Amino acid sequence: MTRRFEGKIIIVTGGAGGIGDAICRRFASEGGFVWIIDANAEAAAALAVSICDTGGKADYRAIDLSDALAIQAVVTEITALSQSIDVVCNNAGLMRRGPLLELTKEDWSLSFKVNVDALFHMCQAVIPVMQKQGGGAIVNTASQWGLHPAPGHIAYNTSKAAVVAFTENLARDYAADKIRVNGVAPGEVRTPMLESNLARTGRDIAELNRLVPYGRIGEPEEVAALIAFLASEEAGYLCGSVVQITGAQAVS
């Protein structure tokens, strides 16, 4: 494993979740100091301990990512402690299922508060830090469904389409400050959220695997590897891209 992030300070929102866990471990394995930001304090703390026990560097803060003041406060604290923020991975997200007439106003509102508004508030807080230090990298987790919507998920699909647009706009606005903004758009990935949905519907992994031309769904570590590449200097000219990682699967 290379050490592309030695001495770098990385923030990962939703860091204690399925893909978030893999992202945090990947950056830590490459020498980064990872700040795990998650609403689940117990899971975030356990991940930080696990990373440190295996020779990495991590800490955590449990905050509500729908709270703009909490986001600003945690960025201010991290900046004071670390003197820099080199990479931000806006990975936190949630899914409210259903077509329009089955959604509540709360489903719609919360989808945008966590999936979109949290990006806005986090980037408003970190971009001045990155401008002052001469650059940085931001990677946002969108979704294949934000590009090619799946049926029955209008709140999730629309919020993730907003993540795609936000990523492209932010990149254009701050490229001159040497702040590279990119996104990833995963297809089906084996996460606890996906497995709980399979249990709810009576489907299984083998059924999903058959729908993917590559022969299987993705693993969190594969998404984490792509995110680490986009955040690294190896992707030094990538700015404003949203990269699909789907195994060539089309949305059904």
* pLDDT in the model for residue 1: 67
| Cβ(11)–Cβ(20) below 8 Å | no
Average pLDDT over residues 236-251: 95
pLDDT at 9 over 90: yes
Confidence of residue 193 (pLDDT cuts 50, 70, 90): confident
| Cβ(186)–Cβ(192) below 8 Å | no
Average pLDDT over residues 205-226: 94
CATH number of the domain at 9-190+223-244, out of 3.40.50.300, 2.30.110.10, 3.40.50.720, 1.10.287.3510? 3.40.50.720
Mean pLDDT of the chain: 95
Return the domain boundaries, the chain. Answer: 9-190+223-244
Here the contacts of 55-61 (C-beta below 8 Å, separation 24 or greater) are 56/25, 56/28, 56/29, 57/28, 57/32, 57/33, 58/24, 58/28, 58/33, 58/34, 59/33, 59/34, 59/35, 60/15, 60/16, 60/35, 60/36, 61/35, 61/36, 61/37
Of the listed 156, 174, 214, 237, which one is catalytic? 156
Q: Is 237 a known active-site residue?
A: no
Confidence of residue 196 (pLDDT cuts 50, 70, 90): confident
* pLDDT in the model for residue 180: 98
Average pLDDT over residues 142-160: 95
φ and ψ at residue 189, rounded to 5 degrees? -130, 140
Q: What pLDDT digit, counting tens, does each position of 39-89 carry?
A: 999 999 999 999 999 999 999 999 999 999 999 999 999 999 999 999 999
